[in-house]
Amino acid sequence: MQMDDNWRLRHGDWEQLRRQAAPIRHAVFVMEQGVPEALELDALDAASEHWLALDEHGSAIATGRLTPDGHIGRLAVLGPWRGQGIGGLIVQDMLSHAGALGLTRVELNAQTHALAFYQRFGFLAEGPVFDDAGLPHRRMVCRIT
């Protein structure tokens, strides 16, 4: 998928995108946010579909995944690229893909500082704040029509 003149999205399985996606996740979750390295990669990676945003030079700048049961996770954008709409384009493409798969709802566990970001795409917060890997999160659901 072409995003604009400077970015493009790739969509594929973990084996196709791991080499470029894993370093982004490590930089954002492990290095920046202090998530234990042992928790960052998990068994869901192999079963999930993954997205990768590439800059004009083909360098990976953002990633995310959609699990088979419709759970968005591991959305990460490298620092210099934040605030430019890249994460939002990944979420929109994931939601579109989930709808094409016949899913009627998508869920995620959002870090509390990102609640407003996900609300822009129709996600609604449910339940109390909880701890995940030492960070406050809240469950969010988006109904796909």
Whether the model clears a pTM of 0.85, i.e. scores above it, the answer is yes
Tell whether the model's pLDDT for residue 2 goes beyond 80: no
116-145 average pLDDT score: 95
Residues in the chain: 145
Domain coordinates of the chain in residue numbers? Answer: 8-103
What are the residues facing 66 on neighbouring strands? Answer: 49, 72
pLDDT digits 0-9 by tens, 34-86: 999 988 999 999 999 999 999 999 999 999 999 999 999 999 999 999 999 99
The strands making up 71-77's β-sheet, listed across from edge to edge, are: 8-13, 49-54, 60-66, 71-77, 105-111, 135-143, 124-132
Tell me the CATH number of domain 8-103, given options 3.40.640.10, 3.30.1360.30, 3.40.630.30, 3.90.1150.110: 3.40.630.30
